[in-house]
Structure 1
Amino acid sequence: MTQSPSEETQAPNKKPGPIIVARHGRPALDRSAGPRLSWQEYKDWWARYEIGSLAEGQEAPQKLKDIVADSDVVLSSSRPRARETAMKAAPWADIESSELFWEANLPPPTWERVRFLPKTWNILARAAWLRGHKLDGEGIREAEARAEQAVDYLIDRAQEGQVFLAAHGWFNRMLRPRLRKRGWTCKQDGGDRYWSYRLYTFDE
């Protein structure tokens, strides 16, 4: 029997490509450096961090370059540190950047008469955010909804083949249980350090 044109051109069902989710490289702004900051000063520091680049003189680890070399889709957060990470790991790629993959907000508690290093404020701000504190930024419920959208998008793009995403530490953690819930298994777990990555595959 002769096939219809639609049947002839329809691609056979295939297993979606793996999804590689990496954390960005080391930022130029050092969270361990002084001076100690008030909560208002830390809020300004975080705003500068978000628009900042990577520290100079870094190259993507060869292991990361190798595993993303066959990627069909290369994505990144549109924050400079994430986009630069994607560029260094996959310099050959046409990178698609999006606010969808931004880091989760870090709003400091509004404590007066205390001063901490940025790394300490990071911990305090994340703990407060997890309990619903958001100041004038994105709250946890909004970020969770965005993480769901991000996973939808990653899975959709994985139909094209291997996907590489360069994004951020906490937001990447938010993606992990959502990918697992949809049948994706972490086959390689590189941890949460700068330049680290996790590789997920779909298990039917």
Structure 2
Amino acid sequence: MQLPENLKKYQDATPEEKDRRLIQGVTGALYDVFNFQPWMVNLHDIATGLSKKCRWNGQIPGDEIFSVAQHSVGVSRLMGPRPEYRLMGLLHDASEGVMVDLITPMKREMPDFVAVEDHVQAVIYTHFDLSITPEMDRALATADRLCLEYEANEFERCWTHMQTDRKFTEVFDMPIMGCADSKRLFIAEFNSIVTEILTS
């Protein structure tokens, strides 16, 4: 998959520089986010990373995390009945499982980071044979925002223009899970959606 123009500057690195920027997943797989390719995608590594990253920059009450993996399952379940939409919802933050995430105010000031993240995300969608349409993007924006509001209510975060006072745990009838359980949930959700796609 071709790199976007604004990332091609990273191809000029020396072999030593390229070697130093390799990231190793928990499976042992090595990948380079600056030249990310579909064959580098590993669901286990993605699920591991997402299950250990806390939403809300970690600034939530209590001593436990609320993982991006569990958030992703919530978004998936808000995407409607079509399995390809649900798969997009499940994978919409998958780049964060490969990379680190940054809070939105920082991303606004770091266009190169956003370009790398967008490229990694696009490669992941390609790997899983997802062709993203504008309609899917609109559905994702709606589902992601609604899930975020459920989380805000769950963790007592105050926002303006809230559309709901319902909480994540009551909407999805699931507890806030630890890393291991949220990883298993993410993988089980993926397997269920892909089975539906393959048998429909």
Q: TM-score, normalised by structure 2?
A: 0.29
Q: Which has the higher contact order (CA 8 A, sep 6+)?
A: 1
Higher helix share: 2
Higher strand share: 1
Larger Rg: 1
Q: TM-score, normalised by structure 1?
A: 0.28
